[in-house]
Amino acid sequence: MNIPVVEQILFANNTLAEDLRRKLDAAGVFGINVMASPGAGKTTVITGTVERLLNRLKIGYVDGDIATSIDAERIAALDVPVVQINTGGNCHLDANMLAPAVDKLPLDDIDLMIVENVGNLICPANFQLGTHINVLVASVPEGDDKPYKYPTMYRGVDVLILNKVDLLPYIPFDVERFKHGVRVLSPNLKTFEVSSLHGDGMDAWVDWLAEQVAGER
């Protein structure tokens, strides 16, 4: 009896997500949905991304979190427009939550909208937001088994950023095992290996993202 209800919820969400995509396209805004588990370094990756793109693109940021505005304050300090969404316990953002946040951003003055989803490897994969690409930030300390344990998340993204590669000498992490699990789920997935803390690999990711934004204009 629950299956039809779930299907209706997802259908309604995806319909609204399509409306949001059309709104972004009409304004010439490229949107990305950044997902990760708690502690993967998602906000640090986003901070490094914004810092490297400030002189190239006009950026807006939406932060989804269960509580607090800690991450939003970090990005706001970079002098970009920020909207906070506190889910009050929900483990993901959905299109219904994002819609009013998008309306608060100055879309006509933005090239790139970065949405930071709630830290979770399960729920966010099921809810489209209308963004152009879904980005997953994984990290070395999480272990090389995550593509096998959370296949839905890895199957539902366009870009994978493997963060904290500076810790590879100190943590047992089989890069080839990890990559094999990813390739099985998403053979065409774009992957970047970075250390957001030290900056390694970040330029390649940021340059690629800037190219995607330019291609949508």
Q: What secondary structure does DSSP assign to 57-116, as a single string?
A: --EEEEEEESS-SHHHHHHHTTT--EEEEE-TT-SS--HHHHHHHHHHS-GGG-SEEEEE
The predicted model gives 74-91 an average pLDDT of: 90
* Predicted confidence (pLDDT) per residue in 7-18, tens digit: 666 788 899 999
Segment holding 137, helix H or strand E: strand 133-139
Return the minimum-mean-pLDDT range out of 1-5, 7-11, 56-60, 140-144.
Answer: 1-5
Distance between CA atoms of residues 18 and 23, nearest Å: 9
Strand order in the sheet with 82-86: 82-86, 59-65, 112-116, 30-36, 133-139, 159-163, 190-193
The predicted model gives 180-198 an average pLDDT of: 94
| Residues sharing a CB contact under 8 Å with residue 170, sequence separation 6 or more, in sequence order | none
Q: How many CB atoms lie within 10 A of CB 110?
A: 22
- pLDDT score of 217: 61
- pLDDT score of 162: 98
**Residue 85 in contact with residue 65, Cβ under 8 Å?**
yes
The predicted model gives 203-213 an average pLDDT of: 98
How many structural domains is the chain composed of? 1
Q: How many CB atoms lie within 10 A of CB 131?
A: 25
| Model pTM score | 0.92
- pLDDT score of 96: 93
| Structural domain boundaries, residue 105 | 2-215
**Residue 135 in contact with residue 32, Cβ under 8 Å?**
yes
User: Higher confidence at residue 14 or residue 88?
Assistant: 14
**Residue 40 has which token pair?**
């993967």
**Residue 149 has which token pair?**
């344990």
* Predicted confidence (pLDDT) per residue in 17-72, tens digit: 999 999 999 999 999 999 999 999 999 999 999 999 999 999 999 999 887 788 89
Task: Give residue 5's pLDDT band: very low, low, confident or very high (50, 70, 90).
Answer: very low
The predicted model gives 74-96 an average pLDDT of: 90
User: Higher confidence at residue 118 or residue 68?
Assistant: 118
**Residue 189 has which token pair?**
């997935």
- pLDDT score of 15: 94
Segment holding 159, helix H or strand E: strand 159-163
Residue type, 122: I
Pure H helices in the chain: 2-27, 42-53, 70-76, 95-104, 146-149, 151-155, 175-185, 202-215
Domain harbouring 124, CATH code: 3.40.50.300
